[in-house]
Amino acid sequence: MNKVVFTVVGLNVEKLAQNLIKKGICPISIQRITAKEFTLSMPFKYKDESIDYLRKKCYNIKNIEIKGFGKIKAFIVQNVAISLALVLCLVALLSLPQFYLQLKTFGVASHNQVQTTLEENGVKYGKFMALVDAKEMEAILCRQLDLAYCFIEKKGCTLCIETVAKTEQKPAIDFTKTHDVVATFDGEITKMVVLQGTPQVAVGDKVVAGQTLVLGKTTFFDGTTQDVYAIATIWAKVCVEVFYPYQRQTTTLVRTGEIFVCNRLSIGKLILEKECPFSSYEVESQMVTTSPFFIKIERLTYFCTQEKVVLPTKEQYQQQAELLALQQAVSLLGCNPQSVNYIYNQDGVSVLAYAEIKITTEN
């Protein structure tokens, strides 16, 4: 209920209530605080009449408290400029979803590629969403980024764009040509599946990279031969060796103790913040406040850093060399090795990685 509560100093409370009722002003309640002080609750619409009457009868009004929606009305009347500014801010916030402020991308095309293509075709941050033709932009993105297809969805003030690459079709095999199957690794043959051609090796044979495993030729029962396109898949136990030198001296970044603190204001993709005075730094971010209109404030703490030479222990640089050598071996094999041996010398470590893999290329 909209009401006003007066704290009044004076006597003859009962007579005051009777006189107010006679004037058509009906109090909601009267509560005595002391012998000379009481509170008088009135409907908000009688506020001005009540004040005039109380002052006319020489009552001292100590306090006026407005409750309910009447308080809002009084604030608006007393603060017209502030109220107008608040209304304008509210209208601006409600209209934000009508503008393009954020981009989310999914799929093969990078965020920068999609954003650059959009901007080159007139879709920039702040553009009215209704003017963004999703179907037209899908066609432009597919054409300029060479995509199989693209899907654009508008969500508030965000454009969500999914991109899908064209599938690369392998060139058709010309089976009329002669083709040999050759080894891609050194190793010992463990399994062979030959669909066409004449095998030149058997299970258990040791082969070297580049050696012909299956000849592109077929021999018939009468002894005649015919050139063919050899088709086969062959597995072998292989070993790759990778050497990695010791890194007895490395550099790392350490904090100097100097810090720089500032706030970052983000409105969609618009970012406002002070420039960090450090050339080399680490930064920590703490969210201060956020809103559903892509407005957020972050507290940023920059820590100044500088390079420092570090001398690792023997155990540390050996472990690092082992790890990096093993990573290179796995990359060469294309799979995790079944067993690994390490050979150490004064300059570095060698990794011998063993695995059973295919040593033929895909047909």
pLDDT at 90 over 70: no
Instruction: Please tell me the predicted confidence (pLDDT) of residue 292.
Output: 56
Instruction: Please tell me the predicted confidence (pLDDT) of residue 16.
Output: 75
Residue spans per domain, the chain: 3-76, 97-165, 181-239, 250-310, 312-358
For 21, the 3-state DSSP assignment is helix
Instruction: Please tell me the predicted confidence (pLDDT) of residue 204.
Output: 92
- Which CATH number fits the domain 3-76, given the four candidates 3.30.420, 3.30.160, 1.10.760, 3.30.70? 3.30.70
The verdict on pTM exceeding 0.75 is no
At 74, is the pLDDT very low, low, confident or very high (cuts 50, 70, 90)?
low
3-76 and 97-165, same CATH topology? no
Burial class (CB in 10 A: 0-12, 13-18, 19+), 353: buried
Instruction: Please tell me the predicted confidence (pLDDT) of residue 156.
Output: 78
Contact 252, 307 (CB under 8 A): yes
At residue 267, what is the residue type? Answer: I
- Give mean pLDDT, residues 310-323: 86
Instruction: Please tell me the predicted confidence (pLDDT) of residue 302.
Output: 92
Q: Distance between CA 311 and CA 64 in Å, rounded?
A: 76
At 36, is the pLDDT very low, low, confident or very high (cuts 50, 70, 90)?
confident
Which among 224, 173, 221, 179 has a CA at the least distance from the CA of 197? 179
- Give mean pLDDT, residues 11-28: 73
Q: Pairing between strand 198-199 and 281-290?
A: unpaired
- Give mean pLDDT, residues 43-48: 73
For 151, the 3-state DSSP assignment is strand
Average per-residue pLDDT in the chain? Answer: 82
Instruction: Please tell me the predicted confidence (pLDDT) of residue 162.
Output: 92
Look at the domain 97-165 and name its fold. Ubiquitin-like (UB roll) (3.10.20)
Contact 302, 281 (CB under 8 A): yes
pLDDT at 363 over 60: no
Instruction: Please tell me the predicted confidence (pLDDT) of residue 303.
Output: 94
* Residue matched to tokens 């040509």: 177
- Give mean pLDDT, residues 94-114: 80
* Residue matched to tokens 């472990």: 319
For residue 297, what are the β-bridge partners?
265, 289
